[in-house]
Amino acid sequence: MLDPSLLRQQPADLAARLRETRGYALDADALASLEAERKQVQVRTQELQNLRNTRSKAIGQAKAKGEDVAPLLAEVAGLGEELKACEARLDAIKAQLDAITLGIPNLPDASVPLGADESGNVELHRWGTPRGFDFEAKDHVELGARNGWLDGDTAAKLSGARFTVLRGQLARLHRALAQFMLDLHTGAHGFEETNVPTIVNAESLFGTGQLPKFEEDMFATELGEQKRYLISTSEISLTNIVRDEIVEAERLPMRMTAHSLCFRSEAGSHGRDTRGMIRQHQFEKVELVSIARPAESGAEHEFMTRAAETVLEKLGLPYRRMLLCSGDMGFSASKTYDLEVWLPSQETYREISSVSNCDAFQARRMQARWRNPESGKPEPVHTLNGSGVAVGRCLIAVMENYQNEDGSITVPEVLRPYMGGVDRIA
């Protein structure tokens, strides 16, 4: 959530910034009206509490003197009724304010370009040269089906649309990619490997911003009265590790990585993305999360993005880095880099990693703080997350970029130790 002082002191200015940068309509008048009423009711509530305490003491003193306490008892009863009504109204106002504030997206960093959608994104650099083929390049679905490795029909029988069964050497290559990424991020980049739950409670989703706004994108489970959610990314589990915590300065940055299953309902049609493994209900990612000091989060964002880029470079996959514009960023992000990998079958770059700095937005929702040694006081940390990278999409990129005319796939050199020395799967 945003800094409460912006909401309370500058609602009109905040509404203008959100409208310009995010296309978000904030009703500043309604917010200001609720805030004014909250202050008024809160002051009256405190007055009533003080009056009740004062009168209660007076009753005790009057009883000790043998005086008639009936008038004082009647007054205290009246104060109690009014106090109860004020407290109920204060709770209702706070609930209304929470409903508004929890639905407001993060403000973009000053370095983020303005734009309404992906057409406003800015390409920063490219790496690698797309391969030229002397035969007609096939897409990953045809390559997988040809060898019996990728089976959407069986997955549909088991679970429905947008699920995939992987078999044989392709399943092993998928596993090899995840292991390679984890070894790289823990060994070369200093992230701590972490195994986290894939089912979380609602508090965790409120913390990272999926609830209440994006509940329809989540798969949920119910056991009795307990509702839990399948994670859409292990960012949720990893980031919430510091929820309701005060982290000591020497522990920052906390760099964590996890390989996990991820689940997204992603309602609606996405055209050709519904074919194959581009957009699945169940997929795997190697996630990167960092909990950082506010002054260092910009540098940490660059570090994490380079860590993801290194995965693609070691695999020899051409990619480009994009700086997302204000209208194309995620709800919690203040700045996002997308890495897009080259897919020969589409003759274009497609997203394979998104790395975001959320500054203090998630930390305020989670009450995640660090103890600033200069002030000695707890302050919100900055949280960052990114794919390091999406395993399924990386598998697609390897299949298509390393395909051979006979339908076999050359195994990238860095993956061969994970494949028992195999240099080609067929």
- Architecture in CATH for domain 118-425: 2-Layer Sandwich (3.30)
Could you list the residues known to form a binding site for ATP, using ranges.
264-266, 351-354
Residue tagged active-site, from 237, 326, 393, 400: 393
Half-sphere exposure at residue 209, Cβ-oriented, CA atoms within 13 angstroms: 21
H or E element in which residue 204 lies: helix 202-208
Could you list the residues known to form a binding site, using ranges.
233-235, 264-266, 287, 351-354, 385, 387
**Coil, strand or helix: which one is 317?**
coil
Could you list the residues known to form a binding site for L-serine, using ranges.
233-235, 264, 287, 385, 387
Give the tokens for residue 258: 């996890």
CA distances from 87 to 45, 48, 252 (A): 7, 10, 40
- Is there a catalytic annotation at residue 393? yes
403, 426 Cβ separation under 8 angstroms: no
Any idea which residue has 């003491």 for tokens?
57
Average pLDDT taken over every residue of the chain: 94
Contacts of 93 (CB under 8 A, 6+ apart): 34, 37, 38, 41
CA distances from 252 to 145, 300, 367, 370, 377 (A): 47, 11, 16, 9, 16
pLDDT tens digits for range 264-313: 997 544 555 667 899 999 999 999 999 999 999 999 999 999 999 999 99
CA distances from 358 to 105, 341, 369 (A): 11, 24, 14
Residue tagged active-site, from 162, 172, 264, 369: 264
Beta strand 254-263 with 192-193 is parallel
Domain ranges of the chain: 4-102, 118-425
22, 108 Cβ separation under 8 angstroms: yes
Rounded to an integer, what distance in angstroms lies between the CA atom of residue 66 and that of residue 410?
98
Q: Mean per-residue pLDDT for 354-365?
A: 98
Any idea which residue has 């796939």 for tokens?
409
Q: Would you state the pLDDT for residue 274? A: 66
Structure-model confidence comparison of residues 72 and 416, the more confident one: 416
Q: Answer whether residue 228 shows pLDDT above 90.
A: yes
Rounded to an integer, what distance in angstroms lies between the CA atom of residue 32 and that of residue 36?
6
58, 72 Cβ separation under 8 angstroms: yes
Q: Would you state the pLDDT for residue 225? A: 87
Largest CA distance in the chain: 107
- Is there a catalytic annotation at residue 297? no
Q: Would you state the pLDDT for residue 68? A: 80
Q: Would you state the pLDDT for residue 276? A: 85
- Architecture in CATH for domain 4-102: Orthogonal Bundle (1.10)
Rounded to an integer, what distance in angstroms lies between the CA atom of residue 311 and that of residue 222?
38
Give exposure, 304-323, as e/b (b: 16+ Cβ within 10 Å). bbebbbbbbebbebbbbbbb
- Is there a catalytic annotation at residue 272? no
Rounded to an integer, what distance in angstroms lies between the CA atom of residue 302 and that of residue 323?
12
Residue tagged active-site, from 279, 293, 306, 320: 279
Q: Mean per-residue pLDDT for 251-271?
A: 85
- Is there a catalytic annotation at residue 354? yes
Residue tagged active-site, from 354, 364, 369, 400: 354
pLDDT tens digits for range 163-196: 999 999 999 999 999 999 999 999 999 999 999 9
Q: Compute CA 226 distance to the chain's CA centroid, rounded to the nearest angstrom.
A: 23
Any idea which residue has 């209440």 for tokens?
212
Rounded to an integer, what distance in angstroms lies between the CA atom of residue 128 and that of residue 311?
13
CA distances from 266 to 161, 166, 219, 252, 273 (A): 12, 21, 10, 34, 11
pLDDT tens digits for range 317-333: 999 999 999 999 999 99
Q: Would you state the pLDDT for residue 208? A: 97
Q: Would you state the pLDDT for residue 114? A: 97
Residue tagged active-site, from 351, 379, 408, 424: 351
H or E element in which residue 292 lies: strand 282-292
Q: What percent of the chain has pLDDT over 70?
A: 98
Q: Mean per-residue pLDDT for 371-391?
A: 96
